[in-house]
Structure 1
Amino acid sequence: MAGSAVSVPVRADRDVPGLIVKFGDYPLHHGVVGAIRSLGRLSVPMYAITEDAYTPAASSRYLRKSFVWPTTGAEDPGRLVEGLLRIGRPAVLVPTDEEAAVLIAEHQDELAGTFLFPRVDPALPRRLASKQGLHELCVEHGVASPAAAFPRSYDDIVAFADTARFPVVAKNREAFVRRRRPAVNGTTRIGTRAALLGLARDWGEEPGVILQEYLPHEEAEDWIVHACFDQDSSSLALFTGVKVRSWPPHAGMTANACVVGNPELAGLAARFIKRIGFSGIIDLDLRFDRRDGQYKLLDFNPRMGAQFRLFENDSGVDVVRAMHLHLTGRPVPQGEQRAGHRYVVENIDLAALLAYRRSAYTTPHAPARASGTELAWFAGDDPLPFLTMLARSVRPGAKHLYQLWRTSRRGSTSTK
């Protein structure tokens, strides 16, 4: 990200707290811990919604208070809005999942009297979080994305299978079904027509899936964009990097990533955001297809990404800090992104490393040596979240380790 040559210190408004908003039962979320630390280190009072009092986030020294509120993500939206309003303190809302981002957007008029957050077209975050909605927006605005089909019946799937080039990829059409009854478990590679039809028999009369062309990782590069945009859809902070490893391999969350400047990709992302009129934080996953030289947009998360702490400019601004500064009327210092910086998620990167070594895959553009490393969980000034993560991770014991080993042997989720 281009910026001024002189670094300007970050001066946050310490009178306006931050509130981490998350719905669903997933206590081991390193992005939540990162957001609490990021603003907490600027002396911004931090609060968070947590599943229980013993999550890593709840143990952070930078958290003033956790609001224990067990949710599934499938509750009636009105009840969730009422719950947020009962918290009842002015704060900048920091959503960490699609459910929270969509709820805030669709109920912004009710929440605006109490909370600060970017104002956006109420329907846009839900559409961006939907695989079908995102694909339609990409087609509408000339952004490359994998070829896709959206079957409405088993007969549609049969017709697709008769002409498709295998392997193909199946994903849940809507982000929200992952906490209910998903048709597939994340990104699923399907190798043959027979395998697709076999799976489809269990998807019901209205299969909630998207079927996409498969972009082979041997011919592709995984890139990420994290940014924050103001009410005019102009960037306050914009960063690019490469995903070195993910878990599950080539299809899951980031386990290891590096900051790599990419002006072409930054420009593509900025133009797309301007065209759709989005405001707030984004986390994009794109795959560069070396076969046709295009960056293809895979996922658009209309909220903070779990690995956002990979990115910070030389003035100390990340996307969460940029949003808080902007919403509280403070200037957002500009600067260059930390080239070559690395981000490691300790509890999944070892398994990912073993899987990638087995496949002999290497990441183009990743620097041979990092200029610095940001750990997702461990921090010398805030060690308890790391220890709490370890305690909660080892509870499944041998079964958990066996599952990691089996997945590392299989690579990404696949159906032959």
Structure 2
Amino acid sequence: MARRGTRLAVDRTVPGLILKIGAYPLHHGGVGAIRSLGRLGVPMYAVTEDRFTPAAVSRYLSGRFVWPTTGREEPERLVAGLLRIGRRIGRPTVLIPTDEEAAVLVAEHAEALAGAFLFPQVPPGLPRRLASKQGLHALCAEHGVPSPAAAFPASYADVEAFARRARFPVVAKNREAFVRRTRPAVAGTTRIGGPGQLLDLARDWGPRPGVILQEYLPREQAEDWIVHACFAPGGAPLALFTGVKVRSWPPHAGMTACAFVVDNPGLAQRTARFAARIGFAGIADLDWRFDRRDGQYKLLDFNPRMGAQFRLFENAAGVDVLRALHLDLTGRAVPGGAQPAGHRFVVENVDLPALFAYRGGRRTPHTPVRATGTELAWFAGDDPLPFLAMLARSVGPGARHLRELRRAGRRARTEAPPRQGEGPK
């Protein structure tokens, strides 16, 4: 169901473009972004892997640009393709990255893109530092923001030395966000129980392990908090929301499957101070973990782009972080208002298995006993086709057929900018 915001004074002459790099067609965040601005009458465009992605079939999409990418393309080639899309749209367009690669590309090539697109101005190297586990850890240390203790081994000998002194379990993560350009050391967040397991894994990491070995914050003594925000240049918050993650998929280490809006003014202030100190502007998605052992909120991730679950949050005036960005970039005032505490967000296709995985576990602190309302990631009565496309790609013969079509399209268009016939219909 559509939520509030239909009376926001948005500039409907300025479109939005969902920019993604790499193949992840089942991305509910992109669908949410198309709906969020599309429901206000803003023309919405999207870069898609093919014509059958959920985002590509939304009723609120004015046009799609079929452009399969891998994340391994040269930046100059991506910029050229993006400028070609800008010429097809034909007017300045708000650029909305949905992954770190896209956010970094925009920041590092802002001068080339500025004529065709609207986006926040940030220090060119900042999004890359924030997307890097090592870069974020260094920024936290520089600005006095707590984060989990971490080591960055440069060799197998460093891993051996760490194994002798570390307190297990520990967590291994890929050091850089752009692992699609190389072979990732680990598939995702990996819990390591002891020195033997660590050394066995490290034998496959090569001479220069691209990992971060991080302090493990036990679930039974920690709480997972999320902050979604949009900052003006200089770090002043235009919209700032806090919530609690209840379930994720894969369990305890993956994307949000279910979360609730929960007020946390102290955490909001911490986030705003950090953003101002580093000079961040635009949309951000942050993961914090409250460690009850020492009473500290520790920053795990600072994603310099829209988070997939951003539609959990909308203030009393109908402003979410994307609407705040569009209003600000088009010179409009951003109305304030309280966030609806107790509101729930559910990602249908991953929360069902997550429910079984979390069955019988401890209840997440601060979780409301009953939701005041629910936002579904995929299903919407006014825009049902993305939900059906998600189902078709997820199960059954339809999914295999669509995968075959997608592979054929990739073979035909690998690393090619969108063709003339693949623009807005």
Range of TM-score over shorter length: over 0.9
State the distance in 1 between where 2:222 and 2:215 align: 13
Question: Which residue in the other structure is 2:355 paired with?
Answer: 353
Q: Is the 8 A contact 2:146 2:298 kept in 1?
A: yes
Q: What amino acid is the match of 1:135?
A: H
Q: What amino acid is the match of 1:67?
A: F
Question: Which residue in the other structure is 1:45 paired with?
Answer: 43
State the distance in 1 between where 2:293 and 2:100 align: 32
Q: Is the 8 A contact 1:8 1:315 kept in 2?
A: no
Structure 1 runs (4+) deviating above 3 angstroms are: 395-399
Q: What amino acid is the match of 2:353?
A: A
State the distance in 2 between where 1:396 and 1:368 align: 40
State the distance in 2 between where 1:69 and 1:130 align: 26
Question: Which residue in the other structure is 2:288 paired with?
Answer: 286
**Matching of residue 146 in structure 1 with residue 148 in structure 2:** yes
Shift of 1:395: 3.9
Question: Which residue in the other structure is 1:338 paired with?
Answer: 340
Q: What amino acid is the match of 1:74?
A: R
Question: Which residue in the other structure is 1:374 paired with?
Answer: 375
Cα gap change, 1:178/1:261 in structure 2, threshold over 3 Å: closer, same or farther?
farther
State the distance in 2 between where 1:38 and 1:117 align: 18
Cα gap change, 1:51/1:179 in structure 2, threshold over 3 Å: closer, same or farther?
farther
Shift of 1:126: 0.2
Shift of 1:11: 1.2
Deviation track 1:151-173 (CA, whole Å, cap 9, x = no partner) reads 00000000000100011000000
Cα gap change, 1:115/1:397 in structure 2, threshold over 3 Å: closer, same or farther?
closer
Shift of 1:338: 1.0
Q: How does 1:128-207 map to 2 (within 5 A)?
A: 128-178=130-180, 180-207=182-209
Deviation track 1:222-273 (CA, whole Å, cap 9, x = no partner) reads 0000000011210000000000100111110000000000011001000000
TM-score normalised by structure 1 residue count: 0.92
**Matching of residue 276 in structure 1 with residue 274 in structure 2:** no
Question: Which residue in the other structure is 1:3 paired with?
Answer: none
**Matching of residue 328 in structure 1 with residue 330 in structure 2:** yes
State the distance in 2 between where 1:396 and 1:82 align: 37
Deviation track 1:163-188 (CA, whole Å, cap 9, x = no partner) reads 00011000000011046411001100
Cα gap change, 1:354/1:386 in structure 2, threshold over 3 Å: closer, same or farther?
same
Deviation track 1:358-416 (CA, whole Å, cap 9, x = no partner) reads 4x1311001010010000000000000000000000048999xxxxxxxxxxxxxxxxx
State the distance in 2 between where 1:142 and 1:40 align: 40
Q: Equivalent of 1:60, from 58, 61, 66?
A: 58
Q: What amino acid is the match of 2:123?
A: D
Q: Is the 8 A contact 1:8 1:333 kept in 2?
A: no
State the distance in 2 between where 1:223 and 1:396 align: 38
Q: What amino acid is the match of 1:28?
A: L
Shift of 1:47: 0.1
2:76 aligned counterpart, secondary structure: helix
1:299 aligned counterpart, secondary structure: strand
Q: What amino acid is the match of 2:382?
A: D
> What is the aligned-residue RMSD (CA, Å)?
1.5
Deviation track 1:291-340 (CA, whole Å, cap 9, x = no partner) reads 00000000110000000000000100000000000000111111000110
Q: How does 1:394-405 map to 2 (within 5 A)?
A: 394-395=395-396
TM-score normalised by structure 2 residue count: 0.91
Question: Which residue in the other structure is 2:27 paired with?
Answer: 29
State the distance in 2 between where 1:74 and 1:205 align: 22
Q: Is the 8 A contact 2:71 2:180 kept in 1?
A: no
Q: What amino acid is the match of 2:11?
A: D
State the distance in 2 between where 1:92 and 1:381 align: 24
1:10 aligned counterpart, secondary structure: coil
State the distance in 2 between where 1:354 and 1:397 align: 26
Question: Which residue in the other structure is 1:407 paired with?
Answer: none
Shift of 1:214: 0.4
State the distance in 1 between where 2:60 and 2:229 align: 24
Q: Is the 8 A contact 2:70 2:180 kept in 1?
A: no
**Matching of residue 231 in structure 1 with residue 229 in structure 2:** no
Shift of 1:10: 1.1
**Matching of residue 75 in structure 1 with residue 73 in structure 2:** yes
Q: What amino acid is the match of 2:124?
A: P
Consecutive unaligned residues in structure 1, runs of 5 or more: 1-6, 400-416
Q: Is the 8 A contact 1:9 1:333 kept in 2?
A: no
Question: Which residue in the other structure is 1:313 paired with?
Answer: 315
Deviation track 1:123-168 (CA, whole Å, cap 9, x = no partner) reads 0000000000000000000000000000000000000001000110
State the distance in 2 between where 1:269 and 1:140 align: 15
Question: Which residue in the other structure is 1:389 paired with?
Answer: 390
1:94 aligned counterpart, secondary structure: strand
Consecutive unaligned residues in structure 2, runs of 5 or more: 401-425
Cα gap change, 1:49/1:370 in structure 2, threshold over 3 Å: closer, same or farther?
same
Cα gap change, 1:332/1:261 in structure 2, threshold over 3 Å: closer, same or farther?
same
Q: What amino acid is the match of 2:194?
A: T
Aligned residues: 392
State the distance in 2 between where 1:375 and 1:229 align: 26
